[in-house]
Chains A and B, each alone.
Chain A
Amino acid sequence: MMTSPHPVLTIIGILIVALTIASGLIWLERRLLALWQDRYGPNRVGPFGLLQVLADMIKIFFKEDWNPPFADRAIFIVAPAIIVITVLMSFAVLPIAPGIIVADLNVGLLFILAMSSLGVYSVVLAGWSSDNKYALLGAFRAAAQMLSYEVFMGLSLMGVVLLAGSFDLAAIVNAQRHLWFVIPQFSGFVLFVVAGLAETRRLPFDLPEAESELVAGFHSEYSGMKFGMFFVGEYLGITLISALITVLFCGGWLGPVLPPVVWLLLKTFFFICFFILLRASLPRPRFDPLMNWGWKAMLPLSLANLLVTGAIVVALSAGRTL
């Protein structure tokens, strides 16, 4: 067992890595989308266009930070901070490697679900305080979508919790030493990927943004670094969901030869790329099919998954005691 580093080091390390990945994703997403659309994407600034991120950052920092006179000023300013804070809080309970974790909560999974629920406030408050009909419509959609997809997001994970017998994320990873949960919990995995997409408001579930219908949805009125916060928040969200899928279903840091951190990063990277592939390939559904899907298909499916998993776990443990 390797000795865990100083907690402050861990905090700063995770913070820096998470933010770097989030901003690097801006570049990665544009390059990958371009790759899948037979284009090049940003390839001019620096090697492979990598410094594009830096150029974008400089640009966004120097943009005018403008508050609309009709906006509810305090809420308008707080809203973009909430999303970044909630996502970064979730990173605190994410086990990076054995011993490398900011806060080893025994209810880590519940904490993450709670934080992702709080993230809804950011979007809703942003849309509400903007005092703009498109922003408000985006916020409505976000509220409905995120709340209804959150329900089965939690339920789809209960199968994993049943199998691992713990809400502790590190314990869940350790329970996958012999078999990744993606195999016994495949339906839960699919449900969680869909719910995760909806939670991060990524395409194809970007109805709160829906630039072809709602200007830019809930952040229509935002500019400068406040818009940048939503941007970073979204990319942090993708990173978090990918890392969560890795931890919950794909064995987290477990893997041969390479060090645990590398394994986690590799698997996370794979799922990030998959999310970007989904963005490149799928159209945005209409809103009522989205809701129908959520409540009439996904929720019953996740409940059924929970029931079957529970029954099997009970049957197995009963068999063991006999």
Chain B
Amino acid sequence: MLSILRTIWDVFLHMFHRRVTVQYPDVKPYLAPRWRGRIILSRDPDGGERCVACYLCAVACPVDCIALQATEDASGRRYPEFFRINFSRCIFCGYCEEACPTYAIQLTPDFEMGEYKRENLVYEKEDLLINGPGKYPGYNFWRVAGVGITGKDKGGSEHEAPPTDLHTLLP
């Protein structure tokens, strides 16, 4: 009986406690840089697309929400012809980001993606591409990769020696 009265009194005292609710639209919560939110495609510091259309993100995606088609430009760089993420399926697990070999696909601290139409949640490449390098400012895949493209032959990458001329090894 006393415990009941005590409970009532204790609950009454909660009147004077601070409220813990965060008044969301007025007070925005702090989101860490590693927050897994809206997915973007980044560009390298030179302004070129980082994505090399390797399909690893599409393979890693547990809900199959990423669709893309690889193609190659005149200089020999692979890039996606289209790149589509269906955000009504996406579960923001971040596996695509982990799978990406070129830091192209990244998750950002933004979750305010509400839409009235489901179709509007399907983001095309122009919706996904941003103008900056995202979380990895200095990284340029084509400058460190050992692949030859127009303007950079094999061996022309950073920290890479020119390829050995096999004929000079002959006895």
Contact = CB atoms under 8 A, between A and B. Distances in A.
Interface of A: 34-40, 277-278, 280-282
B21 interface: yes
Interface of B: 4, 7-8, 10-12, 14-15, 17-21, 23
A254 to B, nearest CB: 26
A277 B11 contact: yes
Given A35-B19, A38-B21, A281-B10, 20 more contacts: A34-B19, A35-B14, A35-B15, A36-B11, A36-B15, A37-B14, A38-B19, A38-B20, A39-B19, A40-B23, A277-B8, A277-B11, A277-B12, A280-B11, A281-B7, A281-B8, A281-B11, A282-B4, A282-B7, A282-B8
A92 B11 CA distance: 35
The 4 A-B residue pairs with the shortest CB-CB distance in the complex, in nearest-first order: A281-B11, A281-B8, A40-B21, A36-B14
Contacts of B7: 281-282
A278 B18 contact: no
Contacts of A277: 8, 11-12
A35 B21 CA distance: 11
20 contacts: A34-B19, A35-B14, A36-B14, A37-B14, A38-B17, A38-B20, A38-B21, A39-B19, A40-B21, A40-B23, A277-B8, A277-B11, A280-B11, A281-B7, A281-B8, A281-B10, A281-B11, A282-B4, A282-B7, A282-B8
A39 B20 contact: yes
Contacts of A39: 19-21
Contacts of A280: 11
A39 B14 CA distance: 10
Chain A's interface: helix, strand, loop or mixed, by majority? helix
A278 B8 contact: yes
A277 B17 CA distance: 15
A38 B13 CA distance: 10
Contacts of B12: 36, 277, 281
A98 to B, nearest CB: 34
Contacts of A35: 14-15, 19
Contacts of B11: 36, 277, 280-281
Given A278-B8, A281-B8, A282-B8, A40 B14 contact: no
B8 to A, nearest CB: 5
Nearest to A33: B11
A37 B15 CA distance: 8
Given A277-B11, A281-B11, A38 B18 contact: yes
A268 B15 CA distance: 20
Contacts of B17: 38
Nearest to B13: A36
A40 B7 CA distance: 21
Nearest to A35: B15
A277 B15 CA distance: 10
B24 to A, nearest CB: 11
A34 B15 CA distance: 9
B1 to A, nearest CB: 10
B19 to A, nearest CB: 5
B104 to A, nearest CB: 40
Contacts of A278: 8
A280 B8 CA distance: 8
A239 to B, nearest CB: 21
A35 B15 CA distance: 6
Contacts of B10: 281
Nearest to B5: A281
A280 B10 CA distance: 11
A301 to B, nearest CB: 12
B3 to A, nearest CB: 10
A36 B8 CA distance: 10
A39 B18 CA distance: 9
A37 B12 CA distance: 9
Contacts of A37: 14
